[in-house]
């Protein structure tokens, strides 16, 4: 039976962009906030001080993620805009060369020269700038840089991740705060790493182990530093 023409294939590579940003933001939120809480707790601070430090870390971290992502993606957007402007100018002043350039790209991808010229002509007749943006510059509508969207997404996922160890610290008696925050944070990291790996088509176990290891290392070092400076002071 022939496959239906309405069949739509879905590839995991389409998820890489948003998946990377979401996982990175949530992972940073969990690790940095849990480590901060453990470091302050390890120094012998009162429960209230621990919570204040954690909330401050959440706000500062979310704003830092938003600012950093905005600046980074804005630079990418500026580069894309400049490249598109230059390409638009070249199309207006030297259409013949641009058609030849596009055909050469298709030949390098395996098309016969005559067919490559035909494809280039048809695509440029439909949307010349779009064809060059996609095939020459590697810019597509789905992958265009969006600074504001990226900033809000990074801040939001960081805040969600940071809220997890903070909520645990708020609900846990002070005597068991450190082990409770450590255990729940590692659990959250393992689940996050596993889900991210599965969504990307990789093994859940390897993703969980990878994320959990680095999170545990960060928390252990920060707690140790807190204990050390707490004892000295």
pLDDT tens-digit profile of 133-153? 777 777 766 556 677 888 888
What 3-state class would DSSP assign to 233? coil
Rg (CA), the chain: 25
Per-residue pLDDT band at 199 (split at 50, 70, 90): low
The reply to whether 56 falls in a domain is yes
Residue with tokens 């070092």: 221
Q: How many residues does the chain have?
A: 233
The reply to whether 127 falls in a domain is no
Chain centroid to CA 222: 24
pLDDT tens-place string over residues 54-83: 999 999 999 998 898 888 888 877 888 887
Mean pLDDT of 14-38: 77
CA 135 → CA 88, 105, 112, 138, distances in Å?
Answer: 14, 8, 17, 6
The reply to whether 167 falls in a domain is yes
- Contact yes or no for 207/193 (Cβ under 8 A): yes
The reply to whether 187 falls in a domain is yes
Chain centroid to CA 8: 26
Output the six-digit token pair for 112: 């016969």
Residue 233, pLDDT above cutoff 50: no
Domain residues for 210? 18-90+147-227
- Contact yes or no for 62/155 (Cβ under 8 A): yes
Cα(186)–Cα(182) distance, rounded to whole angstroms? 6
With a CB cutoff of 8 Å and minimum separation 6, the contacts of 165 are 30, 33, 34, 37, 54, 181, 184, 185, 188
Residue 24, pLDDT above cutoff 50: yes
User: Residue 140: what pLDDT?
Assistant: 67
User: Residue 39: what pLDDT?
Assistant: 92
Q: Total domain count for the chain?
A: 1
pTM exceeding the 0.95 threshold for the entire prediction: no
Cα(193)–Cα(215) distance, rounded to whole angstroms? 11
CA 197 → CA 168, 176, 184, distances in Å?
Answer: 25, 32, 20
Residue 25, pLDDT above cutoff 90: no
């Amino acid at each position: 039976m022939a496959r239906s023409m309405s069949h739509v294939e879905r590839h995991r590579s389409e998820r890489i962009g948003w998946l990377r940003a979401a996982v990175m933001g949530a992972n940073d939120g969990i690790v940095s906030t849990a480590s901060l809480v453990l470091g302050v707790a390890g120094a012998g601070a009162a429960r209230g001080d621990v919570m204040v430090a954690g909330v401050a870390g959440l706000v500062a971290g979310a704003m830092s993620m938003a600012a950093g992502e905005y600046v980074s993606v804005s630079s990418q957007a500026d580069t894309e805009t400049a490249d598109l402007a230059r390409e638009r100018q070249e199309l207006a002043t030297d259409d013949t060369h641009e058609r030849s350039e596009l055909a050469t790209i298709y030949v390098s991808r395996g098309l016969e020269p005559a067919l490559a010229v035909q494809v280039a002509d048809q695509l440029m007749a439909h949307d010349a700038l779009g064809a060059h943006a996609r095939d020459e510059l590697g810019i597509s509508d789905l992958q265009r840089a969006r600074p504001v969207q990226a900033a809000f997404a990074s801040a939001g996922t960081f805040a969600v991740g940071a809220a997890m160890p903070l909520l645990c610290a708020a609900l846990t008696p002070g005597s068991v705060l450190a082990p409770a925050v450590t255990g729940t944070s590692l659990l959250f990291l393992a689940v996050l790493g596993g889900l991210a790996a599965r969504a990307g088509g990789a093994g859940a176990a390897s993703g969980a182990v990878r994320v959990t290891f680095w999170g545990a290392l960060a928390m252990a070092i920060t707690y140790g530093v807190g204990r050390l400076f707490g004892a000295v002071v």
